[in-house]
Amino acid sequence: MQHQSRILVAGYRGLVGSAIVRRLRAEGFENLILRSHGECDLENQGAVFKLFLQEKPEFVFMAAAKVGGILANSSYPVDFIRSNLMVQNNIIDASHFSGVQKLLFLGSSCIYPKLAPQPIKEEYLLTGDLEPTNEWYAIAKIAGIKMCQAYRAQYGLNAISLMPTNLYGPGDNFDLNASHVLPALLRKFHEAKCSGAHEVVMWGSGTPRREFLHVDDLADACIHLMQVYDSPEIVNVGTGEDITIHELAEQVKEVVGFKGQIIQDTTKPDGTPRKLLDVSRLHQLGWRHRITLVEGIRSTYQWFLENQATVRA
C-alpha cells in the first residue's frame, strides 16, 4: 500500500472508520475513497458495485457494520444479522469482481464461544456456543470471515480478517439504548454529576471481565497489518489485559469526577463472564498497543465534552 494507492474506507463516519481515516491521513495516505450512507447505501448491491467499478479501489478497509450493546442486540436481532450480512457480502463480492489488491475485514471478539478458555486464541473460533445476547451479530461476522477465506481459497482474493476486542474512543456512540459499556458509563456518570444525583445504576453484577482497546490503537494496528500480513488465519487485536466492569466503572467515575455511589442492578444480564484475547500472534507480527486505559478514558471524555452538540446520544 503506497501513499498514492486508491484506498476505500467503508463506514468512514463510524467509530472505527473515522479512526482509520485519521491514521491514514497522518501517515500521508491522501487518495482516499469515502462515501456516506446517503452517497452509497452499502446494503444496496448495485450501488456498491457501481462505486467499485467507478472508483477502482486498490485497498479496502471494511469498517462498516451495525454494532451495539446488549440491549440493542437483544432488541433488534433481525437488524444485526441482516444488515451486517448484506453489507459485508456486497463489499467482499465487489472487491473480488473489481480486482481489489487487498481487503481488510473487521470482525469482533464476540464471535468466540461464550465459555471459551481464557485468554482466547484464534483457533477457539466455532468450538462452542455463542453468547445469546449477541449471537446475531456474531453469526454475521463469522460468515464474513468465512466468506473472505472462501474467496481466497477459490479465487485468490487477498483478504485478511482482524478480530478487535471492545473498542472505545472519539466518535463513539453514547446512546444509552445502543452503546457499549464504556461510552454508556461515561454518559451516565457525566449526567449524574451535572444533575447532582447521588447514585448511578449499572447493569449486571459488575463481575464480568473485559478488555478495552482505544480505537486509535486499532486503526494503527489495521494499517500495520494491511502492510505486513497476508494469510487467511484471523488475527486478534487487543491489549492482552482486562478488568472487571466494576473496576472500569470506578475508573470512569474518577475521570468524570462523580462523587456518588455505584448501584448494581443484578436483574439485568451480565453477558459473557470473561472475554480476554490472546494477542500472541499480533505481537509476533510486530504490533502492540500504546494507549493506556486511563489515558484513553480521559481523552474520550474530553472529546465527549467538546462534541456534546453533535455526539451520538
Neighbour order of strands in the sheet with 274-275: 243-244, 209-210, 274-275
Asked if residue 181 belongs to a domain, the reply is: yes
Asked if residue 123 belongs to a domain, the reply is: yes
Cell matching residue 24: 491514514
Cell matching residue 144: 464474513
Range of the domain at 282: 7-306
List the catalytic residues: 137
Question: Which residues line the annotated binding site for substrate?
Answer: 188, 203, 210, 270
Question: Which residues line the annotated binding site for NADP(+)?
Answer: 11-17, 106-109, 141, 164-167, 180
d(CA 149, CA 143): 10
How many domains does the chain divide into? 1
Per-residue pLDDT of the chain (313 residues; tens, 9 = 90+): 999 999 999 999 999 999 999 999 999 999 999 999 999 999 999 999 999 999 999 999 999 988 877 777 778 889 999 999 999 999 999 999 999 999 999 999 989 999 999 999 999 999 999 988 889 999 999 999 999 999 999 999 999 999 999 999 999 988 877 678 899 999 999 999 999 999 999 989 999 999 999 999 999 999 999 999 999 999 999 999 999 999 999 999 999 999 999 999 999 888 778 899 999 999 999 999 999 999 999 999 999 999 987 876 6
Asked if residue 313 belongs to a domain, the reply is: no
Question: Which residues line the annotated binding site?
Answer: 11-17, 106-109, 141, 164-167, 180, 188, 203, 210, 270
Contact, 129 vs 113, CB < 8 A? yes
Asked if residue 312 belongs to a domain, the reply is: no
Asked if residue 1 belongs to a domain, the reply is: no
What CATH number did the domain enclosing 86 receive? 3.40.50.720
Question: What's the pTM?
Answer: 0.93
